[in-house]
Structure 1
Amino acid sequence: MEPTKVQSEGGLNVTLTIRLLMHGKEVGSIIGKSGARINISEGNCPERIVTITGPTDTIFKAFAMIAYKFEEDIINSMSNSPATSKPPVTLRLVVPASQCGSLIGKGGSKIKEMRESTGAQVQVAGDMLPNSTERAVTISGTPEAIIQCVKQICVVMLESPPKGATIPYRPKPASTPVIFSGGQAYTIQGQYAIPHPDLTKLHQLAMQQTPFTPLGQTTPAFPGLDASPPASTHELTIPNDLIGCIIGRQGTKINEIRQMSGAQIKIANAMEGSSERQITITGTPANISLAQYLINARFRDVAAMWNDPSSMTTS
């Protein structure tokens, strides 16, 4: 489809919002000048939502900038790789499910037309993204093919607005698995184990202070972390409006912190007239240090939690 046709159908003065789903490492590539307003969701999440808002012509410029930058990143990464064939650029749009039928068309006619006329691969996910009424639409191909495909998708979205209320997809902060091996702590990110110096120090401290106990005798979260009786108690004061971040839905987060740290953690009931809650942590110094570290890590996700009220729960 020629750009002039899109301009006449879409109208360059129409303000449109397009949502993209990206991995955190991709987000750094897209900061630049395109004329469109680009907003990137906050939070310590492996996925981020990139929202592009503006007249359709500036949205096309923004997509051109992103697609060419991603291709540049692919070419740069190939210089250190034995791969010979260049993989396609891939973007993931987040589209209200009520508009996906129009993108697919009767019997798949519209999506087939987009594939054939642009040369891009287009896939509409069958399932909605978690806790939302949106679906992922994946576009792959050369930057030129992606830009033409996005233009056609914009036209469809303008012609077929969403029906009813849309519950937007919000990526969740990842609960990063931690493993200990050879005296080192690693966090699992995708297929890779990334060394974690802070947790390594705490783990080494724990191993020095408490003897290794065979797993057959006790079942600690990690060997050495809670193999001896509690040695001390530490108290924290947390504002009431942040306590849900620590507790998690149905207590999942606080239980995770208890399991990982090996500490006993008690949260006092809310006192009438008080805006704060008392948290008591009991265990070895290493247990307490690790529990405090994990609680502080939860606070780094508060911004994301405030953007997603459904994830804030109280005890």
Structure 2
Amino acid sequence: HAGLIHFWISLITSCKTFYIQSHLPEMESKVSEGGLNVTLTIRLLMHGKKGETVKKMREESGARINISEGNCPERIVTITGPTDAIFKAFAMIAYKFEEDITNSMSNSTATSKPPVTLRLVVPASQCGSLIGKGGSKIKEIRESTGAQVQVAGDMLPNSTERAVTISGTPDAIIQCVKQICVVMLESPPKGATIPYRPKPASTPVIFAGGQVRADPLQLTKLHQLAMQQTPFTPLGQTTPAFPGLDASPPASTHELTIPNDLIGCIIGRQGTKINEIRQMSGAQIKIANATEGSSERQITITGTPANISLAQYLINAR
């Protein structure tokens, strides 16, 4: 009986996978009709801004398409709407990119046509589902769509989002986006997301030892965003953190204790997570060694009030 049950489970799983891959548009409409997918928002990174093109895409796709403002070489394009409207918008973007590539090749000596490439911006908490256990999900998406998909190992600066790069023919990209939408619907983001905001071209970025740090004003803005998303007050602090924007506030130190059974998820494998928190907050963070008989570990955070508050928020989020 056990063998027979295993056989039926395998058969049902195979049929389910085949159905998702073969009938994705129908599945999407059923998700929408069931009220599970009122709207979906997809973010991607682009260069430049073409007002007339975007206006046409809005009208023909039915999706809401917004482009971030500011003096930035990169722009965040936000596409919101029912899944069918999002797919139409992505189809128009992919074919427009291919048209641009074709036009640029007419003045070039290159013989091989480069693929269309899009960069999605996805909350880091959803990237695990997109990759799948042992890379199984991302491999399945690559093989079934013919598109190349890469999930960045590091989060985008001053955010909790990662870049997901998709390359291929327009048709492959459309199918790939459909499958990514299904994953995002099935696995909503966990906790608060700090969205990636491209830096203005004029903002200096300091590269030191492989780390990228924003200036104090950028950290202040990021802190304020973090505070808006989670009702969290820094330890011992009852007044607003930033009565004025002092470019170089004095450094101070805060200590907090974390239960031993939670310290692993804050440190991460080989220290990856605590290093991300150090990089994003700009604070120095030291974790004391385990003390015999104690169920807690002490964490010491040193930096400006903005650094400390952001580090505490990120530790809480972990």
Q: Structure 2 vs 1, CA of residues 226 and 262 (structure 1 numbering), >3 Å: closer, same or farther?
A: farther
1:48-100 residue CA offsets vs partner (Å, 9 max, x unmatched): 00000000000000000000000000000000000011000000000000000
- Confirm or deny: 8 A CA contact 1:118 1:145 kept in the other structure: yes
- Confirm or deny: 8 A CA contact 1:230 1:282 kept in the other structure: no
Counterpart mapping for 1:56-67 below 5 A:
56-67=83-94
Counterpart mapping for 1:276-315 below 5 A:
none
Q: Does 1:270 align with 2:290?
A: yes
1:224: Cα distance to partner? Answer: 37
Q: Structure 2 vs 1, CA of residues 11 and 120 (structure 1 numbering), >3 Å: closer, same or farther?
A: farther
1:157-208 residue CA offsets vs partner (Å, 9 max, x unmatched): 000000000000000101389999999xxxxxxx999999999999999999
Counterparts of 1:163 and 1:213, CA distance in 2:
21
Q: Structure 2 vs 1, CA of residues 161 and 231 (structure 1 numbering), >3 Å: closer, same or farther?
A: closer
Counterparts of 2:159 and 2:222, CA distance in 1:
38
Counterparts of 1:47 and 1:264, CA distance in 2:
30
Counterparts of 2:306 and 2:125, CA distance in 1:
52
Q: Structure 2 vs 1, CA of residues 60 and 245 (structure 1 numbering), >3 Å: closer, same or farther?
A: same
Q: Structure 2 vs 1, CA of residues 41 and 272 (structure 1 numbering), >3 Å: closer, same or farther?
A: farther
1:114-159 residue CA offsets vs partner (Å, 9 max, x unmatched): 0000000000000000000000000000000000000000000000
Once structures 1 and 2 are overlaid, which stretch shifts more, 193-202 or 274-283?
Answer: 274-283
Once structures 1 and 2 are overlaid, which stretch shifts more, 242-251 or 134-143?
Answer: 242-251
The percent identity for this pair of structures is: 94
Q: Structure 2 vs 1, CA of residues 255 and 79 (structure 1 numbering), >3 Å: closer, same or farther?
A: same
1:34: Cα distance to partner? Answer: 1.4
Q: Structure 2 vs 1, CA of residues 70 and 229 (structure 1 numbering), >3 Å: closer, same or farther?
A: closer
- Confirm or deny: 8 A CA contact 1:264 1:282 kept in the other structure: yes
Once structures 1 and 2 are overlaid, which stretch shifts more, 8-17 or 267-276?
Answer: 267-276
Question: RMSD in angstroms over aligned alpha carbons?
Answer: 14.7
SS of match in other structure, 1:25:
coil
- Confirm or deny: 8 A CA contact 1:206 1:225 kept in the other structure: no
The answer for the alignment partner of 1:20 in structure 2 is 44
1:248-298 residue CA offsets vs partner (Å, 9 max, x unmatched): 99999999999999999999999999999999999999999999999999x
SS of match in other structure, 1:148:
helix
Q: Structure 2 vs 1, CA of residues 244 and 87 (structure 1 numbering), >3 Å: closer, same or farther?
A: same
Counterpart mapping for 1:159-238 below 5 A:
159-175=186-202
1:14: Cα distance to partner? Answer: 2.8
1:24: Cα distance to partner? Answer: 1.7
- Give 1 or 2 for the bigger CA radius of gyration: 1
Q: Structure 2 vs 1, CA of residues 72 and 128 (structure 1 numbering), >3 Å: closer, same or farther?
A: same
The answer for the alignment partner of 2:264 in structure 1 is 244
- Report how many residues are paired: 282
Q: Structure 2 vs 1, CA of residues 49 and 288 (structure 1 numbering), >3 Å: closer, same or farther?
A: closer
- Confirm or deny: 8 A CA contact 1:103 1:111 kept in the other structure: yes
TM normalised by structure 1 equals 0.52
TM normalised by structure 2 equals 0.51
Counterparts of 2:230 and 2:239, CA distance in 1:
14
SS of match in other structure, 2:77:
strand
Q: Structure 2 vs 1, CA of residues 81 and 110 (structure 1 numbering), >3 Å: closer, same or farther?
A: same
Counterparts of 2:73 and 2:98, CA distance in 1:
21
1:23: Cα distance to partner? Answer: 1.4
Once structures 1 and 2 are overlaid, which stretch shifts more, 77-86 or 283-292?
Answer: 283-292
Stretches of structure 1 that go unaligned for 5 or more consecutive residues are: 27-32, 184-190, 298-315
Q: Structure 2 vs 1, CA of residues 239 and 94 (structure 1 numbering), >3 Å: closer, same or farther?
A: same
